[in-house]
Amino acid sequence: MNKRHLNNFAIIGAGMVGTAIGFLLRKAGYKIIAIADKSPAARKRALLYMKGETFLKSREAVQKADCILITTPDDVISSACKDIALCPAIKGKLVFHMSGAGGLDLLDAAKKAGAAVASVHPLQSFSSIDQAIKNIPGSYFAITADKKAQATARNIVRDLKGIPLLISSDQKPLYHAAACLASNYLVSLMNTVESIYKSIGLNEKDAKAAYLPLVYGSLKNIENSGSIPSLTGPIARGDFGTIKKHIKAINKNMPQYSSLYSSLGLITVKVAQQKGTLNARQVKTMNAILKGAINHEQSK
């Protein structure tokens, strides 16, 4: 399979991911000939970003397409695949999904029906269609594919101006868990920071203005030097007194964040040990302080 013989796409599921990828595929020279979604609003919105005929039923959308892209929510990928696999025309086509954690087993029905199968997942966040369109080029894409689909999947990723990253189905849950930590949990962590600053009187705007330069500076340090050399702060310095003050203040004012603070602290101790700024005695003492805070919280 190559681009000349794999030019027509059907997109099953016109959410943010499907719509953004469809737009970028069309920009790269592919044709989006069919879009299927149960929501009339989603189908209407998708047409603003890519041309093509819209369908309510997925099976109707796959008839003329060479490649079927399933961009439904993860929990319905398998059922969507089983539905289109009932279409006799599926044989010889390429079917792929874009789940971060799901493996090729989600596409078993299509494979048994004679299709080549792959999973292609952009390592990027999707807060809106327009932002996704801007962010996806230059991102890594995790590719999991059978032998028939691997080269084509690589070509599609490169045409989307992405960087291919080959991983196995077994590796996908860990790969995606790390992605969630880097993106979703970072958002949650920043929300926690905002909440703490709001508790001392800052509004959201001022809180962001205060902490974002610190975050950007830390990210820049990581980009330039790596995560371990970039660690600073009281744990890296072995400043037990400061950590005790933090724990006392959080327990008193915002106890819902006590376990989070101490759990992240224990991970930070390991990073500081790797950096070489804490000796064995300091590690033991710092761990005891943080574990003591967690045990105290759990015993309530």
Say which CATH number the domain at 70 has: 3.40.50.720
Residue 300 CA to residue 58 CA, distance in Å, equals 52
In a domain, 3, yes or no: no
120 and 213 part of one domain: no
Residue 141 reports pLDDT greater than 50? yes
pLDDT digits (tens, 9 = 90+) for 9-39: 999 999 999 999 999 999 999 999 999 999 9
131 and 208 part of one domain: no
pLDDT digits (tens, 9 = 90+) for 143-170: 999 999 999 999 999 999 999 999 999 9
156 and 199 part of one domain: no
Please count the structural domains in the chain.
Answer: 2
115 and 230 part of one domain: no
199 and 292 part of one domain: yes
Domain boundary pick from 169, 192, 226: 169
pLDDT on residue 4: 42
Residues 81-94 as b/e (b if ≥16 CB within 10 A, e otherwise) read bbbbbebeebeebb
204, 211 contact by CB (below 8 A): no
141 and 61 part of one domain: yes
DSSP 200-220: TT--HHHHHHHHHHHHHHHHH
242, 249 contact by CB (below 8 A): no
Residue 171 CA to residue 217 CA, distance in Å, equals 31
Domain boundary pick from 122, 142, 169: 169
In a domain, 177, yes or no: no
Residue 5 reports pLDDT greater than 60? no
For residue 191, count CB atoms less than 10 angstroms from its CB and return exposed for 0-12, middle for 13-18, buried for 19 or more: exposed
151, 1 contact by CB (below 8 A): yes
Residue 3 reports pLDDT greater than 90? no
Residue 259 CA to residue 261 CA, distance in Å, equals 5
Residue 298 reports pLDDT greater than 80? no
253 and 275 part of one domain: yes
Confidence band, pLDDT 50/70/90 cuts, at residue 83: very high
Confidence band, pLDDT 50/70/90 cuts, at residue 6: low
pLDDT on residue 49: 95
190 and 99 part of one domain: no
Residue 76 reports pLDDT greater than 50? yes
pLDDT digits (tens, 9 = 90+) for 196-245: 999 999 999 999 999 999 999 999 999 999 999 999 999 999 999 999 99
In a domain, 176, yes or no: no
pLDDT digits (tens, 9 = 90+) for 265-274: 999 999 999 9
Domain boundary pick from 169, 192, 219: 169
* Residue range 243-251: mean pLDDT, rounded: 96
Residue 1 reports pLDDT greater than 90? no
H-helix or E-strand spanning residue 68: strand 67-70
19 and 152 part of one domain: yes
In a domain, 1, yes or no: no
Q: Give residue 243's domain range.
A: 182-298
Average pLDDT over the chain, rounded to whole? 93
pLDDT digits (tens, 9 = 90+) for 31-64: 999 999 999 999 999 999 998 899 998 888 888 8
